[in-house]
Structure 1
Amino acid sequence: MAIPKIVITGGPCAGKSTGMATLVERLSDYGFRVFVVPEVPTFLFASGLTPGKMKNATQLYLLEKMIVATQIYLEKSIEKTAAEIYPRDKKIILCDRGVMDHRAYFPSEEHWIQLLKEQKYNFVNLRDCYVSVVHLVTAALGAEKFYTLGNNPARTETLAQAVAIDRKTRECWLGHPHFKIIDNSTDFDGKIRRVLSAVCKALDILAPTEIERKFLVASIDFNRMPPYQKIHIEQIYLKSDNPAKELRIRKRGQDGSFLYFFTEKWETDDPRERGEKERIIGLRQFLEMQSQRDPDKTTIKKDRICFLWKDQYFELDIYKSPGLSGLIILEIELTEKSEDVMLPPFITIEKEVTGDKRYYNNNLAKK
Structure 2
Amino acid sequence: MGLEIERKYLVHQHLLPELKKGERMIQGYLSEKPSVRFRIKGNQMMLTIKDYYTKNRRFELETPAKEVTEDEVRKLMSLAISPPIIKTRYTVKSGQGIIWEIDVYEEENTGLITVDAEIPQEDYPLEFPEWVAGDREITGEKRYTNLNLGRKPYTTWADLAE
**Which TM-score band (shorter chain)?**
0.7 to 0.9
SS of equivalent residue, structure 1 residue 229: coil
Matched, 1:301 2:86: yes
Q: Is the CA contact (8 Å cut-off) linking 1:230 and 1:305 kept in structure 2? A: yes
Q: CA deviation at 1:348?
A: 4.4
Matched, 1:230 2:22: yes
Which of 316, 324, 332 is 2:102 aligned to? 316
Q: Aligned partners of 2:59, 2:27: CA distance in 1, in Å?
A: 18
Q: Is the CA contact (8 Å cut-off) linking 1:219 and 1:348 kept in structure 2? A: no
Q: CA deviation at 1:335?
A: 0.8
SS of equivalent residue, structure 2 residue 2: helix
Task: Please give the per-residue CA displacement for 1:56-77, whole angstroms capped at 9, x wherever unaligned.
Answer: xxxxxxxxxxxxxxxxxxxxxx
Change (3 A) 1:277 1:229: same
Structure 1 segments unaligned to the other structure (5+ residues): 1-187, 191-209
Percent identity over the alignment is 27
Q: Aligned partners of 1:303, 1:220: CA distance in 2, in Å?
A: 18
Q: Is the CA contact (8 Å cut-off) linking 1:228 and 1:307 kept in structure 2? A: no
Q: Quick one: which amino acid aligns to residue 231 of structure 1?
A: E
For 2:39, the equivalent position in structure 1 comes to 250
Q: CA deviation at 1:289?
A: 3.1
Q: Aligned partners of 2:87, 2:58: CA distance in 1, in Å?
A: 21
Q: CA deviation at 1:228?
A: 4.9
Change (3 A) 1:220 1:286: farther
Larger RCO, structures 1/2 (Cα 8 Å, 6+ apart): 2
Q: TM-score, normalised by structure 1?
A: 0.37
Q: Aligned partners of 1:293, 1:345: CA distance in 2, in Å?
A: 37
SS of equivalent residue, structure 2 residue 147: helix
Instruction: Report matched runs for 1:175-324 at 5 Å.
Output: 188-189=1-2, 210-222=4-16, 224-225=17-18, 228-238=20-30, 240=31, 243-252=32-41, 257-268=42-53, 270-279=54-63, 280-284=65-69, 286-287=72-73, 288-294=75-81, 297-310=82-95, 311-322=97-108, 324=109
Q: Aligned partners of 1:228, 1:336: CA distance in 2, in Å?
A: 29
Q: Quick one: which amino acid aligns to residue 115 of structure 2?
A: L
The alignment covers a number of residue pairs equal to 148
Q: TM-score, normalised by structure 2?
A: 0.78
Q: CA deviation at 1:274?
A: 2.2
Q: Quick one: which amino acid aligns to residue 232 of structure 1?
A: R
Instruction: Report matched runs for 1:1-367 at 5 Å.
Output: 188-189=1-2, 210-222=4-16, 224-225=17-18, 228-238=20-30, 240=31, 243-252=32-41, 257-268=42-53, 270-279=54-63, 280-284=65-69, 286-287=72-73, 288-294=75-81, 297-310=82-95, 311-322=97-108, 324-349=109-134, 351-367=136-152
Determine which structure has more spread, i.e. the larger CA radius of gyration: 1
Change (3 A) 1:309 1:251: same
Q: What RMSD over aligned residues (CA atoms) do the two structures have, in Å? A: 2.3
Q: Is the CA contact (8 Å cut-off) linking 1:357 and 1:363 kept in structure 2? A: yes
For 1:3, the equivalent position in structure 2 comes to none
Q: CA deviation at 1:304?
A: 0.9
Q: CA deviation at 1:258?
A: 4.4
Structure 2 segments unaligned to the other structure (5+ residues): 153-162
